[in-house]
Amino acid sequence: MIILTTLPLFWIMISASRGGHWGAWMPSSISAFEGTCVSIPCRFDFPDELRPAVVHGVWYFNSPYPKNYPPVVFKSRTQVVHESFQGRSRLLGDLGLRNCTLLLSTLSPELGGKYYFRGDLGGYNQYTFSEHSVLDIINTPNIVVPPEVVAGSEVEVSLLHFVPTREANGHRLGCQAAFPNTTLQFEGYASLDVKYPPVIVEMNSSVEAIEGSHVSLLCGADSNPPPLLTWMRDGMVLREAVAESLYLDLEEVTPGEDGVYACLAENSYGQDNRTVELSVMYAPWKPTVNGTVVAVEGETVSILCSTQSNPDPILTIFKEKQILATVIYESQLLLELPAVTPEDDGEYWCVAENQYGQRATAFNLSVEFAPIILLESHCAAARDTVQCLCVVKSNPEPSVAFELPSRNVTVNETEREFVYSERSGLLLTSILTLRGQAQTPPRVICTSRNLYGTQSLELPFQGAHRLMWAKIGPVGAVVAFAILIAIVCYITQTRRKKNVTESPSFSGGDNPHVLYSPEFRISGAPDKYESKRRLGSERRLLGLRGEPPELDLSYSHSDLGKQPTKDSYTLTEELAEYAEIRVK
């Protein structure tokens, strides 16, 4: 935008004071367009006592001393002037009235310089005044701009009043001087330096970045003079510089750098600030579990699983691949079990996942309850061995005891030579091993207890037909073998018609010898190695490891409730003696 104006001619009229001394008043500098005319206002004074009849005066160019023969611009006595000023200078003032105003016309560049006035009152009363005026011949208007132009504040430039804006900064202000009834016209321009406070004009919008990536935040501001740009976070200066724009580079961003960043722009005229939010996206952290981990059966259990991620995760609590609770886009999940049972005991998993990854944490819930003897508890026979299995579910671990009421005997699990125990999770398996032969299965009661209660169960006997071998026993096997041999020999002897005498060891009048001790005893049973070998096979069927201890349990025939039959334990009188001889 060009603003044109007309420059007036200024006449400085200084009233002369009659102070009784030599003195002059004129403008120190004056400008005029080439080809135009200019008036140099001038007033002078001299002592009152001189009272001259006529007052004369001389204008010199560039020097006040006549002895230097400076060019004469105007001389009232002779009208003789330097050739440069011929026809171009005349006196406008009345020297008698102490007015020395000079008019110069048809100005050209060589007329630019210093102009001095000399008063001539006659005789020795002549005086060259030191005051002078400097004439500047110009071709364009001289636009005088104030040293400081602030946006929004009124300013005056060459009689022009206006309120500049920040948009006017750097624009040119034009001035045109035109003289009526002539072709003379002059134009001049000046650039405006408008000062204004910063305005942030460039900045990132909200930024999302994946953990570990590079992030660059930009802040740019417009101001005059240039602003001081500062990047800040939580009141801490991260970077600053005097510049129109400033980058903040973040290498391998972490969740800890997530947050709001502020850019502050300021100079001596004001300030501006803006913020940008950086959101760092990352996979869930390993979940933490706070809550009850040990509870008594029937109590209410609350377990809180929490994590941190961006965006918020899907949280799920599992137990044995079964979903118990889940929430979407939440950082916490509460699992409530109103009345826990032993079935709630075990390992749980809290899993947190979003599109950037998955993390999981395992935790255990321990439910404490009174012992429960499971139905798979029983006794079983194998040859001359009886094994009793007592399976107990309990927390904390219970004590187990086996009771034989008929013998008034109780065997605790601590008696390791008779009872083998093994725990797996909440299950405690105890095995009592009995050695000996009985006509009927023994009664065995398993009792289990912990601090929450006691339970007893008479163990059922499985596989009663297995006692058949126990009834016959190893001696019966020898007798059966002897009978077979005796029959063969009897047939042979009959053919030879020889008599066979009856063996005194198998007389038919008395009961056969007692095969087992009539007293219940622990340890000392015969053929122990063979018994252990058979028990090892039985334990493998039960899924147990190692060799269990043994408890020898022998019964007399009276304990079995009846006498052995002749078929089971003796031979006929005809074969007895021979069979005994052959067996020996």
Interval 428-477: pLDDT, tens: 999 999 887 666 778 999 999 999 999 999 999 986 444 443 444 444 44
Closest CA to 583 of 501, 503, 476, 482: 482
Q: Write down the pLDDT at residue 486.
A: 59
Which region, left, alpha or beta, applies to residue 94 given φ > 0 means left and ψ of -120 to 50 means alpha?
Answer: beta
What is the three-state SS of 53-75? CCCEEEEEECCCCHHHCCCEEEE
Tokens 């009664």 belong to which residue? 443
Contacts of 30 (CB under 8 A, 6+ apart): 10, 38, 40, 133, 134, 135, 136
Give the three-class secondary structure for 272. Answer: strand
Contacts of 178 (CB under 8 A, 6+ apart): 6, 184, 185, 186
Helix, strand, coil share of the chain (percent; to 5): 15, 45, 40
Q: Write down the pLDDT at residue 124.
A: 84
CA 110 – CA 128 distance, rounded (Å): 23
Q: Write down the pLDDT at residue 494.
A: 55
Asked if pLDDT for residue 364 goes beyond 60, the answer is yes
Q: Give residue 293's pLDDT band: very low, low, confident or very high (50, 70, 90).
A: confident
pTM: 0.56
Asked if pLDDT for residue 314 goes beyond 90, the answer is yes
CA 515 – CA 437 distance, rounded (Å): 10
Give CA 6 to chain center in angstroms. Answer: 70
Q: Is 226 exposed, middle or buried (0-12, 13-18, 19+ CB in 10 A)?
A: middle
Per the prediction, the chain carries an average pLDDT of 80
| Tokens of residue 432, six digits | 């009592």
Least confident of 207-211, 268-272, 486-490, 506-510: 506-510
Gyration radius of the chain over CA positions: 66
Which region, left, alpha or beta, applies to residue 87 given φ > 0 means left and ψ of -120 to 50 means alpha?
Answer: left
Angle at which helices 467-496 and 573-583 pack, to 10 degrees?
100
Q: Give residue 290's pLDDT band: very low, low, confident or very high (50, 70, 90).
A: confident
Mean per-residue pLDDT, 521-546:
38
Cis peptide before 396 (omega within 30 of 0): yes
CA 247 – CA 235 distance, rounded (Å): 18
Mean per-residue pLDDT, 178-188:
87
Mean per-residue pLDDT, 326-352:
94
Q: Write down the pLDDT at residue 528.
A: 36
Asked if pLDDT for residue 179 goes beyond 60, the answer is yes
Give the three-class secondary structure for 25. Answer: strand
Give tens-digit pLDDT for 68-127.
Answer: 889 999 999 888 899 999 999 999 999 999 999 999 999 999 999 999 999 999 888 888
Q: Is 159 exposed, middle or buried (0-12, 13-18, 19+ CB in 10 A)?
A: exposed
